[in-house]
Amino acid sequence: MAVLEIRDLHVTVETDAGTTPILNGVTLTVRTGETHAIMGPNGSGKSTLAYTIAGHPKYTVTSGTITLDGEDVLAMAVDERARAGLFLAMQYPVEIPGVTVTNFLRTAKTAIDGEAPAIRAWTKDVKEAMRNLRMDPKFAQRNVNEGFSGGEKKRHEILQLEVLRPQIAVLDETDSGLDVDALKIVSEGVNRAKEATGLGVLLITHYTRILRYIQPDFVHVMVAGRIAEEGGPELAARLEDEGYDRYVTGVDEPAAAVEA
């Protein structure tokens, strides 16, 4: 049983205009087996939350806490967070020239487990995960994300999720840029991971479409760096009909734009 607890989190980032507050008091708890959808308009701070959980150095936590099973996540280095069981699928996965998918996965698995995986079982695991995600076996020998299409990058993120077996996964817009077939394949991968390991999921998305395939237990709406509303799956259905307008008007717009 794992519990990720985020309490009154405030985060700033350095921009040309100086220190800018992005998250203004986010509180959220994700437990083993639970799926939480975080929805919200562009620029509301969803990716900032994901990066802060993962430990991206650009984001400064000015107050609040993040703990995993009571352990202080903010005191951990990025690799320690991964070893503790946290996983981030990035909105924009990065290319790693010169590192093949095979080597990358094996190195990550070894770092997370503290020992190299037994070669036969590991090779079988990776092959099976790739087959399930309809990834051509040739991808194993390609450099990570280099020349991958948007959809291929997202499948590679879910491949990592399936073979690294984290406790809590943050999936940042894993649905963006996917056609319906790819969306189904990727969602099936997440659901397999949920069934196999009781994964807790923080599913960040702008659109409700992926929630037809990955059922959320809780839905949180993020606006201007805060959770503006929370509910169950019915809240997602409402957002599908109404969009984010009623949250955003007068909150997210710069004053000048509202007056104009």
Ligand X SMILES: Nc1ncnc2c1ncn2[C@@H]1O[C@H](COP(=O)(O)OP(=O)(O)O)[C@@H](O)[C@H]1O
* Closer Cβ to ligand X, 38 or 133, answer by number: 38
Which residue stretch of 13-21, 89-97, 141-149, 223-231 sits at the interface with Mg ion (rule: CB under 5 A)?
89-97
Work out the number of other CB atoms within 10 angstroms of the CB of residue 226: 16
Give least dist CB 42 to Mg ion, A. Answer: 7
Helices 119-132 and 180-197 pack at an angle, to 10 degrees, of: 140
Q: Is 187 in the site for Mg ion (CB under 5 A)?
A: no
Between 126 and 165, how does the x/- string for binding to Mg ion read (CB under 5 A)? ----------------------------------------
Give least dist CB 93 to ligand X, A. Answer: 15
Size of the chain in residues: 260
* Closer Cβ to Mg ion, 22 or 105, answer by number: 22
160 within 8 A of 90, measured Cβ to Cβ: no
Give least dist CB 85 to ligand X, A. Answer: 23
For residue 18, give Cα distances in angstroms to 59, 185, 226, 257: 13, 42, 21, 22
* Closer Cβ to ligand X, 13 or 74, answer by number: 13
Which residue stretch of 27-35, 47-55, 60-68, 73-81 sits at the interface with Mg ion (rule: CB under 5 A)?
47-55
Q: What 8-state DSSP symbol labels residue 57? A: T
Give least dist CB 91 to ligand X, A. Answer: 7
* Sign, Cα dihedral of 22, 28, 29, 32: negative
Show contacts with ligand X in window 37-96 (CB under 6 A): 40, 42-48, 58
Spatial distance between the Cα atoms of 163 and 132, rounded to a whole number of angstroms: 12
* Closer Cβ to ligand X, 11 or 135, answer by number: 11
For residue 25, give Cα distances in angstroms to 3, 33, 206: 19, 25, 20
* Closer Cβ to Mg ion, 90 or 101, answer by number: 90
Q: Is 47 in the site for Mg ion (CB under 5 A)?
A: yes
Sequence-separated (6 or more) residues with CB below 8 Å from residue 91: 47, 50, 172, 173, 176, 204
Work out the number of other CB atoms within 10 angstroms of the CB of residue 83: 15
| Nearest C-alpha neighbor of 180 from the set 205, 210, 215, 204 | 210
Give least dist CB 202 to ligand X, A. Answer: 13
Give least dist CB 53 to Mg ion, A. Answer: 13
How many residues make contact with ligand X (CB under 6 A)?
12
* Closer Cβ to ligand X, 15 or 259, answer by number: 15
Rounded to 10 degrees, the C-alpha dihedral 52/58/59/62 comes to 140
Q: Is 44 in the site for Mg ion (CB under 5 A)?
A: no
| H-only helix segments in 78-169 | 78-84, 101-113, 119-132, 150-164
Say which entry of Mg ion, ligand X, none residue 174 contacts (CB below 5 to 8 A, set by partner kind).
none
Q: Contact positions toward Mg ion, by CB under 5 A? A: 46-47, 91
Q: Which residues bind ligand X (CB under 6 A)?
A: 13, 15, 22, 40, 42-48, 58
